[in-house]
C-alpha cells in the first residue's frame, strides 16, 4: 500500500463527514418539500463534486439524477467560467446542454468558495410536480419534440449573492402548473445546498484547505485501487447483455432494445452500447448522461458492498462507457426523453446486470420488478383545486441475488430502494382516490433457487371528477427483464380500467381518460430469480405456498415441488420423482 | 424509608438506593439474563447487606422502585419476541411487509447482498377482515364479525400469543378496532390483544401498524416478566410502588406498561438524558450532550435549554417504531468494540464487540481481538489492578499481543496503534454526535459534554477536545448513569390526537374538545398513579406544517381555552422554528395543523445529593501513585489520584488520572479538573 499523504484518522473523518453532509442535505429536503414524489417517495438526489468536476461524494440517490453529475457540473463550470461567485445558485434541467436526464428533474447547483477560492460544487436534483409542456407530470408520449415535453432550462443563475433573481424565477414559475408548490420544493432544494456549504466550510475551517484537498486525492486513489482490484479478479473477456422496453410510446408494440458488450481487460472495464437500437421518435430516448449513470449504478452493484457509500471519482477511472451518438442510448437534440428514466433507463441497467452476472456468477444479480406506475391529473372536488399524483406503489419488489431471495417491497432497479412507497391514509386524505386493494399477488415472483420478490395487486377508485391518466412511467407488459444463472425473468404486468360492468385492458405508454367512479386495477410482475427453480429448497417452496406467494400449480410446474393441497406438506416421494425425471430430461 | 432505582443491562444490574437522609449508595451485581427478576432481587439483597439489614426487612422499607430493563429491546433485537397474529383491513394485509419499500435502513443502496426483511408477523398470520373506515371517520363498511370469529379460531390453532388489530384510518374512528378487540377478548381470553388506535392513534398506516405489531411482540413478554416480578417482590415483603422507565422518558405503572408495551423499548437508556439534565441543573449548564459509553454501545443525546429531546422517527433493529421517544442515538462503540482494518486500509472500530464474553483481550478470558479497552490499558488510562475496583485484573501482555495485530497492518508501532484505536473510536463517537446535532442545526461547541457509563469518563474529555467542546462534566454516579437518571425522571404519560386542518379553517371547538378529552384522560391516569391534582403539569404542543408539506414541526401551545389569538401565536412560532431548523421560512404560504399532543407529568419527591467534605484547591492526600500515560502520542509521567479521597474544591491539572471504584477519569493535558460539592468532576479546557 502506498504511503498515505494525510493522517489516516483525518482522512477517515473527512471521508465520512462528506457522506454525512449528503445525508443531511436529503433530510432537509425531506422535511421541507411539499411534493408527494419528493417528500414521501424520495425522488431526490444529492452529491458533492470538486472544482474540477471530479466526483467527491455520491452516497444516495436515483442513479440518473446524480451518478453522472460530474458531466453536469463540468457544463456549469465551463458555462460560467470567470463568472461564478459565492451565493450563486444555478438551475439546470436541460438534458442536451446540461447533461440531465429528463425535464422534470431540476438540479440546483451551488459553487462553494473558501476564502475566495472555488473548491467544491454541490447539487440537489429532484423531480418537480410539473415542468410545463403539453400535459402535467412529464411522462406523456407523442410529444413533437423535447420542447413539447416542458420548459428546458440551460444553466441559469436563479440566485446571486444568496438573493433570488425574482424576475428569472417568475419567468420559470409562470410556465409551470402549481407554481406555489414548485416554489416551495425549489426553496427546499436551495436550503439543502446552503446547509452543504455551511458544513463543508466548517470542515475546511477545522482541517485546513490543504489537508482536506489532500484527503480528496487519497480518497479517490483508494477507491480506484479497490475497484481495480475487483475488476482484476474477473476473467478477461467480453460479456453480453440485452434488454428491451415494451415500445417507444409512438410506434406501439415494437420493443426497443439496448445491447451492451462489457470488455474486461486486466483491471479495466469498458461498457460498449454500440449495438443498441437507433434513436426513436417516441419518448424512450436516453441522453449520454442517463446511459453513463445507469451503467455505473449497475457496475457498483457488483463491487465490494463495503464500497457502497464510498464511491467517488476513483471508482470511475477504470471504467469507460461508450454509446454512439444517434442511438437510443445517446440521443441527439431534439429527441423526446420523457420516459427515459424508466423505459430504456432501467433497461440499460438490466443489460449491464445481465452481462456482469455472467462475468461474476458468484455475485449474480437478477433484475427487479419493472416500474408499473402512472400519473393521474384532474380536479379535486373537495378543494376545487387541480392535482397531479404519481406513486411507486405498484412496481414489484427486488430481484434475487445469489444467496438471497429478492427483498420484498423494495423498489426500482434505478434507485435500489432509495425511493419509497406511500401510505394509503396519506393518499386518500390528499387526493380524490380511494384504495380498494394493495397487497402481494400470488405467483408474481420470478422463480429461482433464490426467487424474486413479489408483484402487487393494486386497485383504486376515482372518487373525484373526470381525470387524465398517463401510463408513460410503466413498462413490462410485453418484455421481461432477465434473471441470472437460469432463474426466471421478471413476470409480465397488466392493467385494467373498470367502468360499471365493463373491464378493458389499458396499456403502458399511453394516455387515458378516467371518469368519476372508474376503477383502475393493476397486477405487477415482481423481481426475477437466480438459479434453476427446480433446485430451490422444497421447504422454502412449501412456506411460500403457505404464505400464498406461490400457488400449488406453480410449485409443481416450475419448482417441481409437489405440495399436498389439504395438509400443505411436501409430498417428498412425488417431488423427488418429478425432480429426478426433469433432471434426466 | 428507602427508594431504589434499578437498571438491568446486558452485563450488570445497577442498583442505586436513596435513604431518608437523601444520600445515595451504589451497588453493582452481575445480570442474570435468563431470569432478570432474580438478578434484581439479588441486587436488592446485596444492597440490604450494605445497610446491614435482612432482605425482607429492607424490602419492606422501600416505598418506591423505579426500574429500567433492556428486556423489551433485547427481545425485539434478538428475535425472541412473542408470536403475533394480525387482524387487518381486507385488501391491505401486507402493509408491514411492504413497509413502504424501506430497504437501506442500515446499509448502502449499492449493497444488494442482504437477506430480505423478515416480518414479525408472517403473511399467513395476517388475517384480512372485511371492514373500512375513511379518513373522515365515516365507516363505509362495518366490521364483519363472522370473519373476525373465524380468524380467531385459526389464530388459536396456530399457537399465537398476541393479536394486533390494525385497521385503516382507525385514528379517525376507532369503532371497528374496538369491536374487533371486544370479540378477541371474548373468544381468546388469555391472549394479549392490542389495537393500533390504542398504541398510536396517529395517521399513516405503515408507521402505526408497525408500532402496534412491535407492541404486541413485546406485550406477552413484558406481561410475564412484570407479573412475576410483582409477585416476587410482594412475596418478599415489598409494599411500595413499582414504576417502569418508558421510552418517552417518563415512568409508568406495570399495568400500563403491559398495555402499551412498545413504550418499554429503550427502558434504561432513555433515563440517561434525565441524569444529564439533572447534572446540568446543579452545574448551571443547560446545553448538554449526554454520552453513555458502556461495553458494547454508545448512547448519545442532545439536550437544549435543559429539555430532553424527543423523536418519532426511530428504527429499533429492523422495525419502525413511531411513538414519541427520547431521542437516544445508539452506535456500536464501547469499551469492548473491536478494532479492525477494512479493505480500503482504513482503521475501523466496532460495531462488533467482544462483549462480556470473551471480553477484551486483557480480560484473559480468551478474547484475541484488540478492543478499545486494550488500547486504553496500553495508553495507561485504566489501571491493570483496579478495574471495577479491582474486581477484574487486566493482563497487559495479552492487550499488547492483540493490538500488535492492528499495528502490523497499519505499519505503526504498538503505542501508535493503541493511540490510533483510541482516537478512531473517539472520532466515530464524534461523528455520531455531529449527526444528531448538525441534523438539528446546532453547533456542538456551544454544549457541555456529560460523560457517563463505565467508559465515558475515560473517553469523554478526549472526545470533547476533538469536537471543540470546552467543558466536560462527569457525574458522581457516572458508572451507574441510567440508574441515576431514574431518580431525576418525572412520572407521567403522553397523549396525541390527529386533526388535520388549515389554521384559517380550524374549528377551535374541535381543538378545545381534543385537548379537554386528553386532559380528562390524563387527570384520571394521574389519579390512578396517586398523584395529587395540584402537582400535575400538563404541557400542550401542536404539530404544524406548510400546506402540502409532509413533515411537521412541533411548537408549544397555550393552556386553557384556546382562541384565535393562540392560533396566531402558534403560527408565528412555527415560522420561526422552521427558519431555525431549515434555513428558511415561507410567510407567503398557508399553514396547517396536523397533530395535537399533551404530556402530563408530575415530579417525584425531590432529592438532594449528599455533599462531600470541602477541601483546599490542592488535592492533598489523594495522590495514589504515578504512571506513564500517552496523550496525543507523547508520554507523560502522570499523577494518579484516589477518587475516594477527593474533596470539594480540589483542582487537578492535566495530565492526571482519577481512579474511582467503577470507572476512571482521564484528565488530558489540556484540561483542568475541579470537584464540586456534589462530587461531580468538571473538566475545563485550559486557556
Q: What is the DSSP string of A186-250?
A: HHHHHHHHHHHHHHHHHHHHHH-HHHHHHHHHHHHHHHHHHHHHHHHHSPSEEEEEEEEES--SS
CB contact under 8 A, B113 and A305: yes
Determine if the peptide bond prior to A334 is cis (ω within 30°).
Answer: yes
Contacts of A439 in chain B (CB under 8 A): 91-94
Sheet containing A502-506: order of strands: A433-440, A456-462, A519-523, A494-499, A502-506
> How distant is the Cα of B492 from the closest Cα of chain A, in angstroms?
30
Interhelix angle B205-235/B36-50, nearest 10 degrees: 50
Residue B665 host element (H or E): strand B664-667
Contacts of A300 in chain B (CB under 8 A): 110
pTM for the model stands at 0.90
CB contact under 8 A, B420 and A8: yes
Query: Do A356 and A298 contact (CB within 8 A), yes or no?
Result: yes
Task: State the pLDDT at residue A300.
Answer: 96
Q: What share of chain A is helix, strand, coil (3-state, %, to 5)?
A: 35, 25, 45
In tens, the pLDDT along B485-516 reads 998 887 788 888 888 899 999 999 999 999 99
* ipTM for the predicted complex: 0.94
Task: State the pLDDT at residue B444.
Answer: 75
Task: State the pLDDT at residue B580.
Answer: 83
What would the mean pLDDT of B441-461 be, rounded to a whole number? 86
Q: How far apart are CA B616 and CA B31, in angstroms?
A: 40
Residues in chain B: 687
Task: State the pLDDT at residue B493.
Answer: 82
Q: How far apart are CA A355 and CA A364, in angstroms?
A: 10
Contacts of B333 in chain A (CB under 8 A): none
Query: Do B269 and B328 contact (CB within 8 A), yes or no?
Result: yes
Query: Do B4 and B486 contact (CB within 8 A), yes or no?
Result: no
| Partner residue facing A195 (CB), from B110, B346, B583 | B583
Determine if the peptide bond prior to B655 is cis (ω within 30°).
Answer: yes
| More confident of the two residues B567 and B531 | B567
> How distant is the Cα of A410 from the closest Cα of chain B, in angstroms?
4
Q: Model confidence at B356, in pLDDT bands (50, 70, 90)?
A: low
H-type helices in B529-592, by residue range? 564-582
Determine if the peptide bond prior to B358 is cis (ω within 30°).
Answer: yes
Q: Which residues touch B8 (CB under 8 Å, ≥6 apart)?
A: B14, B31, B36, B39, B40, B67, B68, B69, B70, B71, B268
Task: State the pLDDT at residue A406.
Answer: 98
Residues B522-559 as b or e (16 or more Cβ within 10 Å = b):
beebbeebebeeeebebebbbbbbbebbbbbbbbebee
What would the mean pLDDT of B559-576 be, rounded to a whole number? 95
> How distant is the Cα of A250 from the closest Cα of chain B, in angstroms?
32
Contacts of B91 in chain A (CB under 8 A): 435-439, 459
Query: Do A524 and A372 contact (CB within 8 A), yes or no?
Result: yes
CB-side exposure of B573: number of CA atoms within 13 Å?
Answer: 18
Q: Does B205 touch chain A (CB under 8 A)?
A: yes
| Selected residues 101-120 of chain B with any CB under 8 Å from a CB in chain A | 101-104, 107-117
Task: State the pLDDT at residue B200.
Answer: 93
Mean pLDDT of chain B: 91
Cell of B336: 469492548
Task: State the pLDDT at residue A9.
Answer: 65
In tens, the pLDDT along B264-312 reads 998 988 999 999 998 998 888 889 999 999 877 889 999 988 888 888 8
Please say if the pLDDT value at position B77 is more than 90: no
CB contact under 8 A, A404 and B582: no
> How distant is the Cα of A457 from the closest Cα of chain B, in angstroms?
9
H-type helices in A323-373, by residue range? 345-359
In chain A, the residue whose alpha carbon lies closest to the alpha carbon of B88 is A439
Please say if the pLDDT value at position B534 is more than 90: no
In tens, the pLDDT along B614-657 reads 999 999 889 999 999 999 889 999 999 999 999 999 999 999 99
Q: Model confidence at B606, in pLDDT bands (50, 70, 90)?
A: low
Contacts of A17 in chain B (CB under 8 A): 431, 434
| Partner residue facing A39 (CB), from B122, B168, B550 | B550
Task: State the pLDDT at residue B563.
Answer: 96
**How many Cβ contacts (< 8 angstroms) between chains A and B?**
219
Please say if the pLDDT value at position B441 is more than 50: no
What would the mean pLDDT of B216-244 be, rounded to a whole number? 94
Cell of B343: 479493505
Residues in chain A: 585
Cell of A162: 444568496
CB contact under 8 A, A223 and B344: yes
CB contact under 8 A, A304 and B343: yes
Lowest mean pLDDT among A129-138, A214-223, B169-178, B223-232: A129-138
| Partner residue facing A401 (CB), from B94, B112, B583 | B112
Closest CA to A69 of A50, A89, A52, A55: A55
CB contact under 8 A, B102 and A416: no
Task: State the pLDDT at residue B438.
Answer: 54
Per-residue pLDDT of chain A (585 residues; tens, 9 = 90+): 344 578 766 787 788 889 989 988 998 998 899 988 888 888 999 999 999 999 999 998 999 999 999 999 999 999 999 999 999 999 999 999 999 999 999 999 999 999 999 999 999 999 999 999 998 878 899 999 999 999 999 999 999 999 999 999 999 999 999 999 999 999 999 999 999 999 999 899 988 999 999 999 999 999 999 999 999 999 999 999 999 999 999 999 999 999 999 999 999 999 999 999 999 999 999 999 999 999 999 999 999 988 988 999 999 999 999 999 999 999 999 999 999 999 999 999 999 999 999 999 999 999 999 999 999 999 999 989 899 999 999 999 999 999 999 999 999 999 999 889 999 999 999 999 999 999 999 999 999 999 999 999 999 999 999 999 999 999 999 999 999 999 999 999 999 999 999 999 999 999 999 999 999 999 999 999 999 999 999 999 999 999 999 999 999 999 999 999 999 999 999 999 999 986 554
Task: For A115-186, list the strands marked E by DSSP.
Answer: 117-127, 156-160, 163-164
In chain B, the residue whose alpha carbon lies closest to the alpha carbon of A366 is B112
Rg of chain A, C-alpha, whole Å = 24
Please say if the pLDDT value at position B603 is more than 80: no
Give the strand pairing for B448-452 and B471-474: parallel
| Partner residue facing A453 (CB), from B116, B343, B438 | B116
Percent of chain B beyond pLDDT 90? 64
> How distant is the Cα of A236 from the closest Cα of chain B, in angstroms?
23
Amino acid at each position: 500500500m502506498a504511503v498515505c499523504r494525510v493522517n489516516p484518522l483525518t482522512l477517515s473523518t473527512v471521508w465520512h463527514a462528506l457522506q454525512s453532509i449528503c445525508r443531511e442535505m436529503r433530510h432537509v429536503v425531506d422535511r421541507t418539500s411539499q411534493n408527494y414524489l419528493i417528500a414521501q417517495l424520495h425522488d431526490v438526489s444529492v452529491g458533492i463534486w470538486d472544482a474540477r468536476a471530479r466526483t467527491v461524494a455520491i452516497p444516495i440517490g436515483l442513479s440518473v439524477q446524480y451518478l453522472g453529475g460530474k458531466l453536469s457540473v463540468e457544463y456549469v463550470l465551463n458555462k460560467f467560467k470567470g463568472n461564478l461567485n459565492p451565493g450563486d445558485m444555478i438551475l439546470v434541467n436541460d438534458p442536451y446542454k446540461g447533461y440531465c436526464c429528463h425535464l422534470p428533474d431540476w438540479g440546483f447547483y451551488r459553487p462553494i468558495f473558501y476564502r475566495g477560492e472555488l473548491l467544491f460544487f454541490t447539487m440537489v436534483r429532484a423531480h418537480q410536480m410539473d415542468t410545463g409542456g403539453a400535459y402535467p407530470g412529464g411522462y406523456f408520449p407523442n410529444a413533437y419534440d423535447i420542447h413539447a415535453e416542458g420548459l428546458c432550462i440551460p444553466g441559469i443563475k436563479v440566485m446571486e449573492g444568496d438573493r433570488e433573481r425574482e424576475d428569472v424565477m417568475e419567468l420559470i414559475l409562470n410556465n409551470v402548473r402549481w407554481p406555489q408548490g414548485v416554489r416551495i420544493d425549489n426553496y427546499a432544494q436551495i436550503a439543502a445546498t446552503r446547509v452543504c456549504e455551511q458544513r463543508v466550510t466548517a470542515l475546511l475551517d477545522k482541517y485546513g484547505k490543504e489537508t482536506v484537498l489532500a484527503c480528496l486525492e487519497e480518497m479517490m486513489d483508494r477507491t480506484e485501487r479497490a475497484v481495480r482490484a475487483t475488476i482484476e479478479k474477473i476473467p478477461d473477456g467480453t460479456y453480453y447483455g440485452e434488454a428491451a422496453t415494451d415500445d417507444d410510446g409512438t410506434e406501439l408494440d415494437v420493443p426497443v432494445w439496448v445491447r451492451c458488450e462489457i470488455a474486461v481487460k486486466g483491471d479495466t472495464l469498458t461498457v460498449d452500447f454500440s449495438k443498441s437500437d437507433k434513436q426513436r421518435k417516441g419518448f424512450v430516448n436516453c441522453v449520454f448522461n442517463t446511459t453513463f449513470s445507469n451503467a455505473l449504478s449497475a457496475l457498483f452493484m457488483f463491487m465490494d458492498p463495503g464500497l457502497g457509500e464510498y464511491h467517488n471519482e476513483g471508482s470511475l477511472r477504470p471504467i469507460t462507457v461508450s454509446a454512439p451518438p444517434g442511438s437510443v442510448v445517446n440521443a441527439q437534440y431534439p429527441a423526446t426523453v420523457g420516459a427515459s428514466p424508466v423505459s430504456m433507463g432501467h433497461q440499460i441497467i438490466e443489460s449491464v446486470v445481465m452481462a456482469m452476472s455472467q462475468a461474476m456468477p458468484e455475485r449474480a444479480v437478477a433484475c427487479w420488478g419493472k416500474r408499473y406506475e402512472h400519473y393521474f391529473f384532474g380536479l379535486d372536488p373537495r378543494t376545487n383545486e387541480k392535482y397531479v399524483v404519481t406513486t411507486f406503489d405498484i412496481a414489484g419488489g427486488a430481484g434475487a441475488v445469489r444467496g438471497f431471495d429478492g427483498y420484498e417491497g423494495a423498489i426500482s432497479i434505478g434507485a435500489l430502494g432509495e425511493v419509497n412507497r406511500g401510505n394509503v391514509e396519506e393518499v386518500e386524505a390528499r387526493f380524490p382516490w380511494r384504495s380498494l386493494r394493495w397487497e402481494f399477488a400470488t405467483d408474481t415472483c420470478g422463480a429461482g433457487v433464490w426467487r424474486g420478490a413479489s408483484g402487487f395487486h393494486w386497485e383504486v377508485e376515482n372518487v373525484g371528477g373526470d381525470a387524465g391518466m398517463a401510463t408513460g412511467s410503466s413498462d413490462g407488459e410485453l418484455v421481461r427483464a432477465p434473471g441470472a444463472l437460469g432463474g426466471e425473468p421478471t413476470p409480465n404486468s397488466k392493467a385494467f380500467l373498470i367502468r360499471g360492468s365493463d373491464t378493458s385492458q389499458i396499456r403502458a405508454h399511453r394516455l387515458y381518460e378516467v371518469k368519476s367512479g372508474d376503477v383502475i386495477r393493476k397486477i405487477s410482475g415482481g423481481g426475477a430469480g437466480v438459479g434453476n427453480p427446480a433446485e430451490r429448497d422444497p421447504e422454502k417452496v412449501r412456506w411460500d405456498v403457505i404464505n400464498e406467494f406461490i400457488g400449488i400449480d406453480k410449485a409443481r410446474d416450475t419448482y417441481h415441488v409437489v405440495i399436498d393441497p389439504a395438509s400443505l406438506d411436501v409430498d417428498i416421494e412425488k417431488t423427488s420423482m418429478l425432480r429426478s425425471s426433469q433432471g434426466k430430461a | 424509608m428507602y427508594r431504589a432505582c434499578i437498571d438491568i443491562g446486558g452485563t450488570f444490574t445497577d442498583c442505586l438506593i436513596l435513604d431518608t437522609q437523601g444520600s445515595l449508595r451504589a451497588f453493582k451485581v452481575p445480570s442474570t439474563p435468563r431470569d432478570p427478576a432474580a438478578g434484581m432481587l439479588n441486587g436488592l439483597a446485596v444492597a440490604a447487606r450494605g445497610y446491614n439489614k435482612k432482605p425482607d426487612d429492607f424490602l419492606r422499607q422501600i416505598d418506591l422502585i423505579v426500574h429500567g430493563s433492556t428486556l423489551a429491546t433485547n427481545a425485539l433485537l434478538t428475535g425472541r419476541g412473542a408470536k403475533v397474529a394480525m387482524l387487518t383491513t381486507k385488501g391491505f394485509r401486507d402493509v408491514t411487509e411492504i413497509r413502504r419499500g424501506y430497504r437501506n435502513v442500515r446499509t448502502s443502496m449499492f449493497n444488494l447482498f442482504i437477506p430480505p426483511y423478515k416480518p414479525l408477523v408472517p403473511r399467513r398470520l395476517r388475517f384480512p377482515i372485511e371492514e373500512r373506515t375513511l379518513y373522515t371517520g365515516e365507516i363505509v363498511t362495518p366490521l364483519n364479525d363472522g370473519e373476525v370469529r373465524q380468524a380467531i379460531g385459526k389464530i388459536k390453532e396456530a399457537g399465537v400469543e398476541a393479536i394486533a388489530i390494525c385497521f385503516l384510518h382507525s385514528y379517525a374512528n376507532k369503532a371497528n378496532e374496538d369491536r374487533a378487540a371486544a370479540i378477541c377478548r371474548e373468544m381468546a381470553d388469555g391472549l394479549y390483544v392490542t389495537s393500533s388506535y390504542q398504541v398510536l392513534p396517529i395517521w399513516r398506516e405503515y408507521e402505526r401498524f408497525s408500532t402496534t405489531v412491535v407492541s404486541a411482540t413485546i406485550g406477552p413478554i413484558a406481561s410475564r416478566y412484570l407479573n412475576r416480578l410483582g409477585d416476587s417482590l410482594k412475596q418478599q415483603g415489598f409494599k411500595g410502588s413499582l414504576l417502569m422507565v418508558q421510552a418517552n422518558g417518563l415512568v409508568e405503572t406495570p399495568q400500563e406498561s403491559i398495555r402499551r408495551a412498545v413504550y418499554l423499548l429503550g427502558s434504561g437508556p432513555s433515563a440517561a438524558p434525565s441524569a444529564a439534565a439533572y447534572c446540568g441543573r446543579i452545574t448551571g449548564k443547560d446545553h448538554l450532550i449526554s454520552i453513555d459509553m458502556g461495553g458494547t454501545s454508545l448512547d448519545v443525546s442532545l439536550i437544549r435549554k435543559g429539555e430532553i429531546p424527543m423523536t418519532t422517527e426511530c428504527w429499533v433493529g429492523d422495525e419502525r417504531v413511531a411513538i414519541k421517544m427520547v431521542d437516544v442515538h445508539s452506535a456500536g462503540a464501547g469499551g469492548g468494540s473491536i478494532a479492525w482494518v477494512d479493505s480500503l486500509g482504513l482503521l475501523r472500530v466496532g460495531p462488533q464487540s467482544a462483549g462480556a464474553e470473551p471480553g477484551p483481550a486483557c480480560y484473559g478470558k480468551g478474547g484475541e481481538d484488540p478492543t478499545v479497552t486494550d488500547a486504553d490499558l496500553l495508553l495507561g488510562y485504566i489501571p491493570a489492578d483496579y478495574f471495577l475496583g479491582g474486581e477484574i485484573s487486566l493482563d497487559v501482555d495479552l492487550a499488547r499481543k492483540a493490538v500488535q495485530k492492528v499495528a502490523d497492518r497499519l505499519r505503526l508501532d504498538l503505542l501508535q496503534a493503541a493511540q490510533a484505536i483510541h482516537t478512531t473510536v473517539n472520532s466515530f463517537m464524534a461523528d455520531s454526535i455531529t449527526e444528531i446535532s448538525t441534523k438539528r442545526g446546532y453547533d456542538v461547541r456551544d454544549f457541555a459534554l456529560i460523560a457517563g457509563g463505565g467508559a465515558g469518563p475515560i473517553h469523554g474529555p478526549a472526545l470533547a477536545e476533538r469536537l471543540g467542546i470546552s467543558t466536560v462534566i462527569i457525574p458522581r454516579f457516572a458508572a451507574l448513569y441510567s440508574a441515576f437518571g431514574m431518580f431525576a425522571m418525572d412520572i407521567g404519560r403522553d397523549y396525541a390526537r390527529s386533526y388535520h386542518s388549515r389554521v384559517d379553517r380550524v374549528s377551535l371547538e374541535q381543538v378545545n374538545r381534543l385537548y379537554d378529552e386528553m386532559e380528562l384522560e390524563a387527570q384520571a391516569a394521574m389519579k390512578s398513579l396517586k398523584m395529587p391534582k395540584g402537582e400535575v403539569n400538563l404541557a400542550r404542543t401542536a404539530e404544524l406544517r406548510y400546506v402540502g408539506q409532509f413533515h411537521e414541526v412541533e411548537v408549544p401551545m397555550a393552556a386553557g381555552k384556546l382562541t384565535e389569538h393562540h392560533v396566531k401565536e402558534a403560527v408565528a412560532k412555527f415560522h420561526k422554528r422552521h427558519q431555525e431548523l431549515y434555513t428558511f421560512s415561507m410567510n407567503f404560504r398557508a399553514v396547517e395543523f396536523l397533530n395535537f399532543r399533551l404530556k402530563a407529568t408530575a415530579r417525584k419527591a425531590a432529592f438532594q445529593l449528599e455533599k462531600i467534605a470541602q477541601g483546599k484547591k490542592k488535592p492533598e492526600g489523594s495522590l495514589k501513585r504515578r504512571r506513564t500515560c500517552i496523550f496525543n502520542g507523547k508520554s507523560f509521567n502522570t499523577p494518579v489520584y484516589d477518587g475516594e479521597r477527593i474533596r470539594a474544591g480540589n483542582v487537578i491539572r492535566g495530565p492526571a488520572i482519577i481512579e474511582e471504584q467503577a470507572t476512571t477519569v482521564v484528565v488530558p493535558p489540556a484540561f483542568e479538573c475541579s470537584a464540586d460539592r456534589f462530587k461531580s468532576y468538571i473538566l475545563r479546557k485550559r486557556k
